[in-house]
A and B are shown apart, each in its own frame.
Chain A
């Protein structure tokens, strides 16, 4: 391209204003974006250290399968770690030292520079009381922030519903984007429809080239079929209404995503992994939107019942390389200050390794946070390796406290309302201005 970074950012900013990406967009052919609202909304967008909570974005990364905390943040200074894991324990010299006792798994080395500048936080001993060892139940608990795992909505969905009640706080067409083919339960909401995207280029209503003349007519016909509610059909049965809703969200979302992705210029090289591609798609969309507040990506599997050494090294490498590229990309596009990324798993694993060079389902584990507004460093204490609960690490921090910090300080919604109770705000991110 030949642009300097400064020129590029200036042009990107102008393009954003031209597209009206800052204000709510109405998807009706011929109607232009509300440019005055857009200009006003863009005032705080992307300026270093100045992003107001109206712009802040939360990216949630789910590490599926139960990530082994002891094989992520290594207690290299504790003899009991070596006693419990004759095969799996990493030699002290291999740990990427964070302090005198703890270090990162060597595959996480790409994240060390972020730690050094205070943009990486490690929250230790995170869990919840009477934790389940079932993948599904425990994941449901983390998604719903409900210890029975049965709440009909997710914590992110409830947060989005609250934001939707505040004018200008949430893009009505693209409030949240989940990468993949299934909507995470965390995003299921009462009134807000998150959009699921598998692969960006295919996310649109497609008509084969040889039908070129038919494309508009087909799209119009489909839109008409989707808008059936209340056109003389009487009461519409729920599944039919749900299908139509999904179609309408799809069309509106596809339009919004297409416009948003236009302003993004690839400047950073991402690894080839599907996970890194998810993060790049997220970077692409968030760069072009101001009110899409939550993104979701998934990486797995971390469920290493056997052969953990090699598998964990691989999957953590995939994680770290993708996160590092993502952060560099955010910085290059002036977005780093408005994005906080949370990486969590449904449980940690047992302290003692099993007989297959792996570990079984456990309880407490660490949670990672990275971003320009994150308070880097350790939060909470490393769980004791001697005072165990039935062979598992005891949790010291309820995961809902992690959520509370992000809800209050980052997204600016009342945490107690989302979580159904008061949880300690751990000061994990810088409060909104």
Chain B
């Protein structure tokens, strides 16, 4: 492979597996083979536990450190974690699982439990899916979200069973209403002690009887249902297709998805194996340099902060809401639609307006003659369209007239240029 394509593939891999790529990232991995880089990304280093980190962050102008009991505080904590992390793939996968097992604060109403779920997702983000699914089925936030306490032997509640199959594992078309009823019975008694914030198995509420689930007969309980679903072929494909849409391209690629599903099943549900197959697939390499994925608001904002080297503050959280993505508060259990659904009039304005807020504090720039190139490089836009290049050049060099004058002028113009690069159509894509 020619050196040029190596570098392009590396950039593509680092950009997709994380939240944008800085020159430092490129320098660190320069000349390495993709396989080695993928292993590094998967071997994410351990980071501080959330609670310890929250206690250590006190935002400028605030009197107390972040409080794990407050939604805005855990939102800003996670955003800052994503912007500073040395393990971008793990954080991105935590975000993926947050979307996949979408659980929302607006019903759970307990930030500590939402944070606990977040740590659970992070712990298993690159690990074993069966384990992750079993843990999620015991997670207090999930139990509250899908009304597990209402699921009782005499009156089973199908909410968890249905979403478990429709959205978390096999997907529509691979189960019947009877399977939903059977799964619901299997999970009866899997409750949450709200006061203690802990899973509790209420044997008196559990239906120990025989069930027929996906054609198999047995005295299944929740753990058995998890086993059957996690290792199901349809689950392998469902997860592979979803990961491909998230990291690869909006259109499915059968060869990549088949390879990913195979790797998952062969490794007995290892997420890392599936990701390895994805990142090393020919289809993924073929997509290098093609900006096909619309960045989600979180990816966009985290990328902006990483590019500028500025830690996010609460304004970033507010901006994310206007862009249509609130951490810990997805719109419903199906998560966020993603793709071009991120782009509407209101959210576009929110994106370009946040860029303005953010760069207001940018440090002074390079000599004016290098402005456009430097701004593009900072933002990681390596292939701007001629329309974008022309607009930026015109803005950077235009005579003053009514524009700002004086000593301030250079600083303001440089900031304005940064704002425009971060508002460029190319910057909205990964």
B150 within 8 A of A: yes
Across-interface contacts of B420 in A (CB, < 8 A): 218, 221-222, 225
Q: Is the CB of A206 within 8 A of B353?
A: yes
Evaluate whether A354 and B292 lie within 8 angstroms (CB atoms) in the complex, with A182-B341, A195-B345, A225-B424 already known. no
Q: Is the CB of B360 within 8 A of A239?
A: no
Across-interface contacts of A226 in B (CB, < 8 A): 425
Q: How far is the CA of A205 from the CA of B428 in the complex (A)?
A: 16
Q: How far is the CA of A217 from the CA of B416 in the complex (A)?
A: 9
Across-interface contacts of A115 in B (CB, < 8 A): none
A31 within 8 A of B: no
Across-interface contacts of B352 in A (CB, < 8 A): 205, 222, 247
Across-interface contacts of B333 in A (CB, < 8 A): 135
B333 → chain A closest CB, angstroms: 8
B294 within 8 A of A: yes
Across-interface contacts of B395 in A (CB, < 8 A): 217-218, 220-221
A213 within 8 A of B: yes
A196 within 8 A of B: yes
Across-interface contacts of B357 in A (CB, < 8 A): 208
B152 → chain A closest CB, angstroms: 6
Across-interface contacts of A183 in B (CB, < 8 A): 341, 344
A358 within 8 A of B: yes
Across-interface contacts of B23 in A (CB, < 8 A): none
Chain A 193-233 interface mask (CB, 8 Å, partner B; 1/0)? 10111110011111110111110111011101111100111
A375 within 8 A of B: no
Across-interface contacts of A58 in B (CB, < 8 A): none
B156 → chain A closest CB, angstroms: 9
Across-interface contacts of B294 in A (CB, < 8 A): 239, 242-243
Q: Is the CB of A210 within 8 A of B360?
A: yes
Q: Is the CB of A196 within 8 A of B346?
A: yes
Across-interface contacts of A222 in B (CB, < 8 A): 352, 391, 420, 423
B100 → chain A closest CB, angstroms: 14
Across-interface contacts of B172 in A (CB, < 8 A): 134, 137
Across-interface contacts of B346 in A (CB, < 8 A): 180-181, 195-198, 203, 250
Which of B135-143, B273-281, B398-406 forms part of the interface with chain A? B398-406
Across-interface contacts of A136 in B (CB, < 8 A): 166, 334
A372 within 8 A of B: no
B158 within 8 A of A: yes
Q: Which of A217, A228, A358 contacts B388 (CB 8 A)?
A: A228
Q: Is the CB of B349 within 8 A of A202?
A: yes
Q: How far is the CA of A354 from the CA of B151 in the complex (A)?
A: 10
B216 within 8 A of A: no
Query: Which of B152, B292, B349, B392 is packed against the most chain A CB atoms within 10 Å?
Result: B349
A149 → chain B closest CB, angstroms: 10
Q: Is the CB of A355 within 8 A of B150?
A: yes
Across-interface contacts of A204 in B (CB, < 8 A): 349
Q: Is the CB of A233 within 8 A of B403?
A: no
Q: Is the CB of A356 within 8 A of B150?
A: yes
Q: Which of A203, A218, A355 contacts B155 (CB 8 A)?
A: A355
Evaluate whether A239 and B162 lie within 8 angstroms (CB atoms) in the complex, with A202-B353, A206-B356, A355-B150 already known. no
Across-interface contacts of B332 in A (CB, < 8 A): 64, 135
Q: Which of B322, B356, B391, B429 contacts A240 (CB 8 A)?
A: B429
Q: Is the CB of A356 within 8 A of B387?
A: no
Chain A 240-258 interface mask (CB, 8 Å, partner B; 1/0)? 1011101101100110000
Q: Is the CB of A246 within 8 A of B345?
A: yes
A305 within 8 A of B: yes
Q: Is the CB of A198 within 8 A of B425?
A: no
Residues 324-344 of B at the A interface (beta carbon under 8 Å): 324, 331-334, 337, 340-341, 343-344
B147 within 8 A of A: yes
Q: How far is the CA of A204 from the CA of B424 in the complex (A)?
A: 16
Q: Which of B147, B341, B348, B394 contacts A224 (CB 8 A)?
A: B394
B412 within 8 A of A: yes
Q: Which residue of A lies closest to B106 (CB)?
A: A301
B113 within 8 A of A: no
Evaluate whether A214 and B412 lie within 8 angstroms (CB atoms) in the complex, with A222-B423, A305-B159, A355-B150 already known. yes
Chain B 117-159 interface mask (CB, 8 Å, partner A; 1/0)? 0000000000000000000000000000001011010110111
Residues 169-213 of B at the A interface (beta carbon under 8 Å): 172, 177
Across-interface contacts of B348 in A (CB, < 8 A): 243, 246-247, 249-250
Q: Is the CB of B385 within 8 A of A208?
A: no
Query: Which of A195, A214, A232 is packed against the most chain B CB atoms within 10 Å?
Result: A214
A237 within 8 A of B: yes
Q: Is the CB of A355 within 8 A of B387?
A: no
Evaluate whether A224 and B155 lie within 8 angstroms (CB atoms) in the complex, with A206-B353, A246-B344 already known. no
A303 → chain B closest CB, angstroms: 9
Q: Which residue of A lies closest to B159 (CB)?
A: A305
Q: Is the CB of B402 within 8 A of A305?
A: no
B324 → chain A closest CB, angstroms: 4
Q: Is the CB of B290 within 8 A of A214?
A: no
B293 within 8 A of A: yes
B76 within 8 A of A: no
Q: Is the CB of A205 within 8 A of B353?
A: yes
Q: How far is the CA of A29 from the CA of B67 in the complex (A)?
A: 49
Q: Which of B147, B292, B388 contacts A356 (CB 8 A)?
A: B147
Across-interface contacts of B388 in A (CB, < 8 A): 225, 228
A146 within 8 A of B: no
Q: Is the CB of A358 within 8 A of B150?
A: yes
Q: Is the CB of A221 within 8 A of B412?
A: no
A360 within 8 A of B: yes
Across-interface contacts of B337 in A (CB, < 8 A): 182
Q: Which of A182, A214, A244 contacts B344 (CB 8 A)?
A: A182
Q: Is the CB of A181 within 8 A of B347?
A: yes
Q: How far is the CA of A319 from the CA of B349 in the complex (A)?
A: 29
A268 within 8 A of B: no
- 10 cross-chain pairs, A with B, having the tightest CB-CB distances, nearest first: A228-B387, A355-B155, A181-B324, A356-B150, A213-B404, A196-B344, A224-B391, A246-B343, A250-B345, A243-B425
18 inter-chain pairs at a CB distance below 8 angstroms, sorted by A residue, are A133-B177, A134-B162, A182-B344, A183-B341, A197-B345, A203-B346, A213-B405, A222-B423, A225-B387, A225-B425, A228-B387, A239-B250, A239-B291, A246-B348, A249-B345, A249-B348, A250-B346, A254-B345
**B-binding residues in A (CB < 8 A):** 64, 133-137, 178, 180-183, 193, 195-199, 202-208, 210-214, 216-218, 220-222, 224-228, 231-233, 236-237, 239-240, 242-244, 246-247, 249-250, 253-254, 301, 305-306, 354-356, 358, 360
Instruction: Give me 19 other A-B pairs in contact (C-beta within 8 A), A182-B341, A247-B348, A355-B152 excluded.
Output: A181-B322, A181-B346, A196-B345, A196-B347, A202-B322, A211-B360, A211-B404, A214-B412, A217-B395, A218-B356, A221-B391, A224-B387, A224-B390, A225-B420, A228-B388, A233-B386, A236-B385, A250-B345, A305-B159
